[in-house]
Structure 1
Amino acid sequence: MDSAWSPGEGAPRVPLERLCLEWTSLPDHCIRPDTDDPDRDPEQEDPADPGFPTVTITDLASFAPAPATLTGEPHNLGVAGLPTNFIVDADVHTRDGELFGYPITARFTPASFTFDYGDTTTATTTTPGTTWKNLHVPQFTPTDTSHVYAERGTYTTTAHTTYTAEIDLGTGWNPVPGTLTIPGPEQNIRIYEAHTALVAHTCNEDPTAPGCPTR
């Protein structure tokens, strides 16, 4: 088959593939190369709707997760000189909605956590922290998110969670460039001093010894 077509005598010859791409009334034998190419790889095609506007992380503000709560173990209390364990309750957040007139699903995944321990010390981790119980370790064991306070007092702590985002238009997940950081609420942590005393007798032997309950 001739690869070019001429509309009449003396008219310039135009490549058939150009006519197939530009004309709205196409001959039956016109086939767009991008839909009939036996060598095309569907995995390399953009699954997003080509008519959908470019999405930035700020466009997803209405889909964003709520601020994550920070907790210090044990019971938002601690002992000076010993680790206080911190946990953020952030998790993967998925929400359906509409953006630019299209129904979409947005998914936010925690990527990092920045802890402000309230004593001028900060730390950034990739874990939200885990309780001592879930780690199967005794209380006051150091963890990836624990912190040791040098002095007693009340400290105002916070944790900021940084998320990556993806959207789904019904054709699969597509990453959205950038990250979204959501500051968490403040949490007061009370740190006490621990005092010990050496005694010569047990409480049964000497009920008046330091640390023994009065009877």
Structure 2
Amino acid sequence: MNAGAVVAQPSPNTLRGAETNFYADASEQQFDVTMLGQKVHVVATPVQYTWNYGDGTVFGPQPSMGGPLPQDRWGEETRTSHVYADTGDFQVVLTTSFRGTYSVNNGPPLPIPSQGQFSAPPQTISVWRSITRNYADDCNQNPQGQGCPGVPSRR
């Protein structure tokens, strides 16, 4: 069974304090097996998703797999996005719950009474910090001013 994959935007790096959009790349799966001489067809449909963002935060189970955002909208809050408070590398794990049906020898589909849960391979996300600096120097008037190209930054 393929639990799907974790997709992050932006990835593989994001910023501390910013929304990082996560979504699942999971889909319905079908299997054909022979058991005791009988042909069995199984259909597994993803129905719930649980996100472990790797920093102690877990979201779910819930029905939304999330979805991609256009690059110009990265940083917006989504149903499955997460904001990291600390920098570092985090292992994000998606657990997908599947509902299933089976049929024997091309008979009618019958429900499988419980759901199966499967975890996708962890996705590493590196959370960085950003620094914003404002400078009053005009680099045309003072090419050696702080923040001008080629001038080392002072901390």
TM-score (norm 2): 0.84
Letter paired with 2:95 = H
Other-structure match for 1:142: 77
| Among candidates 190, 193, 207, match of residue 129 of structure 2 | 193
* 1:99 to 1:148, Cα distance in 2 relative to 1, 3 A: same
* 1:204 to 1:75, Cα distance in 2 relative to 1, 3 A: farther
Deviations 1:1-52 (A, max 9, x none): xxxxxxxxxxxxxxxxxxxxxxxxxxxxxxxxxxxxxxxxxxxxxxxxxxxx
Letter paired with 1:68 = G
Instruction: Check if 1:70 corresponds to 2:21.
Output: no
| Among candidates 110, 118, 143, match of residue 182 of structure 1 | 118
Q: Does the CA contact (< 8 Å) of 1:69 and 1:88 recur in 2?
A: yes
Within 5 Å, give how 1:38-117 maps onto structure 2.
65-117=1-53
Q: Which has the higher strand share?
A: 2
| Among candidates 91, 99, 103, match of residue 156 of structure 1 | 91
Between 1 and 2, higher relative CO (CA 8 Å, sep ≥ 6) is seen in 2
Query: Where does structure 2 lack aligned partners over 5 or more consecutive residues?
Result: none
Separation (CA, whole Å) in 1 of partners of 2:50 and 2:102? 25
Query: Where does structure 1 lack aligned partners over 5 or more consecutive residues?
Result: 1-64
Say how many residue pairs are matched. Answer: 149
Deviation for aligned residue 1:211 = 5.0
Other-structure match for 2:67: 130
Structure showing greater radius of gyration is 1
Deviation for aligned residue 1:205 = 6.2
Separation (CA, whole Å) in 2 of partners of 1:98 and 1:214? 70
| Percent identical | 26
Compute the RMSD of aligned alpha carbons: 2.2
Deviation for aligned residue 1:214 = 3.0
Separation (CA, whole Å) in 1 of partners of 2:136 and 2:11? 33
* 1:99 to 1:204, Cα distance in 2 relative to 1, 3 A: farther
* 1:200 to 1:144, Cα distance in 2 relative to 1, 3 A: same
Deviation for aligned residue 1:203 = 5.6
Q: Does the CA contact (< 8 Å) of 1:197 and 1:210 recur in 2?
A: no
